[in-house]
Amino acid sequence: MADLYHMLDEAEASFITMLERFAAEKLAPKAAATDESGAFVHAQLDGLAETGMMGANLPEKWGGADISAQALTAHYLASDSILIGGDDDLRARYLPDAATGAKLGAFGLTEPTAGSDPADIKTRATREGDGWRVKGRKCFISNGGVADFVVIYAVTDPAARHRGISAFVVDKGTSGFTPGRAENTMGLRGGHVWELDLDLWLPESQRLGAEGTGFRTAMTVLDNGRLEVAAMCIGIARAALTAATDWAKTRIISGEPLAAKQGIRWMLADMALDLRASELLALEAARLRQDGARFSEAASMAKLHASEMAHRVTDKAIQIHGGYGFTRDFPLERHARDVRMMRIYEGSSEIQRNIIAGHLLAA
Ligand SMILES: Cc1cc2nc3c(=O)[nH]c(=O)nc-3n(C[C@H](O)[C@H](O)[C@H](O)COP(=O)(O)OP(=O)(O)OC[C@H]3O[C@@H](n4cnc5c(N)ncnc54)[C@H](O)[C@@H]3O)c2cc1C
C-alpha cells in the first residue's frame, strides 16, 4: 500500500515492498502471455515460494511467515482450513509443506447446486469400516486438478443441515478422486477451476476436527479469504489508476495533455478516493484479524467495497484511454475481465450485503 506505509510496521512494510518488486519484475511481464494462453501458473507459484508467500497466512510454528499479507486465495483457503479446523497431527502432516509451496492446496466447497448457500451441499460422507466413504461432485474448484491436497466439505448428518457438515483432507492420487474438465473462464486465466468427481474412501485420520464442525471452519476460512480478495482488487485497481494517470499526463488532445481537462481530473480524483476507501477498509479488517478480534463484518465490507471499486476504477481507466484501452496492447481490458470475478466468488456482492445487513439488524 504505497500511500499507507505509515500505517504499517517496519516488517510489514518491507515485506510488501519486496512483494511489489517481485510482482513488477517476475509476474507482470508474464501476465499478458498467461492470459492469452490460459496456461496454469505453476512457474509463477514456484517463484512465489521463494518469497515466503505460500505460507504467509500460517504461523511460524508451521513454517509460515506469520505476516498478514494475503494472496494465493485457493491455497490459503486449503491451509487455513487445516490450521483452523484440524488437529496438530493434520497440521504437522500438511502445513509445513503448504508453507514452503512444496504442496499446493485446494478448497472444495462449491457444488453444481450449492454455491451461495453452502449449507445446501449434497456431497455425502458416510461411515464405512474405520473410515469414511465420500461421494459427490464439486465444481469451480481452483487448483482442484493439480493440487496435492484438497479440503473437501461433505454432509455427515443431513438432518442437522449446516451443523451436519464435516471437512476432510483428500490427497492427490486417492483412488476415486477424479478431476473432470477445467472451465474456460473469462478472466483470471492463469488460475484454473475444475469439476471434481468423488467416490472415495478416507481413513478417520483425514477428517478435520470434530464431526459437524466443517461449516463453521469454512465460514471462518472465508472471512480470511475475503480479505485476500480485497487485496487482489486493490492491487489491480492501483495498476489501473497508475496507468490512467500516466496516460492522462502524456496523451495530447487539442494541444494539451488530457490531464488538463477537468472531466478527466475529476475522474482520476474519484478513482483515487474510491481506492483509498478500499485500502482503509481492508487495513481495518486485517488489523482486527491480526489482533484476534471478530472481523467477519469488516471482511465483508472490505471485500464488497474493493470488488465493486475495482470494477469502477478499471472501467474509468479504460474510458480515459479511449479506444486504446479497449485493445489487447494495453493491460486494462485484462484487468477489467479479471476483476469481474471478484464480485462473485468467496460470497457474491449480494451475499456480502446480506452478511452486513445481518450484523446491522442483529445489533
Ligand atoms: C474462477 C472461480 C474460482 C472459484 N474458486 C472456488 C474454490 O476454490 N472453491 C470453491 O469451493 N468454490 C469456488 N468457486 C465457486 C464460487 O465461490 C461460486 O461460484 C460462488 O459462491 C457463487 O455460487 P454460484 O456460482 O453457484 O451462484 P449462485 O449461488 O447460483 O448465485 C447466482 C446469483 O444469485 C445471487 N444470489 C444467491 N443467493 C442470493 C440471496 N440470498 N440474495 C440475493 N442474491 C442471491 C448470487 O449473488 C448470484 O448473483 C469459484 C468460482 C469461480 C468462477
Q: With 70 as the cut, is the pLDDT of residue 160 above it?
A: yes
Q: With 70 as the cut, is the pLDDT of residue 162 above it?
A: yes
Confidence of residue 282 (pLDDT cuts 50, 70, 90): very high
> What pLDDT was estimated at residue 54?
85
Q: Convert the pLDDT of each residue in 12-40 to its tens digit.
A: 888 888 888 888 898 889 899 989 998 88
Confidence of residue 4 (pLDDT cuts 50, 70, 90): confident
Count CA within 13 A, CB hemisphere, residue 355.
23
The preferred substitution site among 110, 215, 226, 342 for testing ligand 1, maximizing ligand atoms within 8 Å of CB, is: 110
**Closest ligand 1 atom to 113 CA:** 26
Q: Is the CB of 142 under 6 A from ligand 1?
A: yes
pLDDT higher at 41 or 310: 310
Residue tagged active-site, from 183, 297, 346, 350 = 346
pLDDT higher at 6 or 322: 322
Q: Convert the pLDDT of each residue in 184-212 to its tens digit.
A: 999 999 889 999 999 999 999 999 999 99
Q: With 60 as the cut, is the pLDDT of residue 140 above it?
A: yes
The chain-wide mean pLDDT, for the chain, equals 93
Count CA within 13 A, CB hemisphere, residue 290.
15
% of the chain residues with pLDDT over 90: 80
Fold of 105-211: Butyryl-CoA Dehydrogenase, subunit A; domain 2 (2.40.110)
pTM given for the model: 0.94
- Where are the domain boundaries for CATH 1.20.140.10 in the chain? 216-362
**Torsion sign, CA atoms 276, 279, 283, 289:** positive
CA of 201 to the centre of ligand 1 (A): 28
Q: 216-362: which CATH number, 3.30.70.330, 1.10.10.10, 1.20.140.10, 3.40.50.300?
A: 1.20.140.10
% of the chain residues with pLDDT over 70: 96
Alpha carbon nearest to ligand 1 atom 43, residue? 350
The Cα diameter of the chain in Å comes to 80
What is the CATH class of 2-100? mainly alpha
Alpha carbon nearest to ligand 1 atom 9, residue? 141
- Where are the domain boundaries for CATH 1.10.540.10 in the chain? 2-100
Q: Is residue 297 flagged as an active site residue?
A: no
Q: Is the CB of 118 under 6 A from ligand 1?
A: no
The preferred substitution site among 138, 140, 193, 307 for testing ligand 1, maximizing ligand atoms within 8 Å of CB, is: 140
Q: Convert the pLDDT of each residue in 62-99 to its tens digit.
A: 876 554 453 378 999 999 999 999 999 999 999 999 99
Q: Is the CB of 194 under 6 A from ligand 1?
A: no
- Where are the domain boundaries for CATH 2.40.110.10 in the chain? 105-211
Where in the chain does DSSP place strands (E)? 105-108, 124-128, 131-142, 149-155, 165-171, 177-182, 193-203, 207-208, 252-253, 256-257
Query: CA–CA separation, 111 vs 122, rounded Å?
Result: 8
CA of 140 to the centre of ligand 1 (A): 9
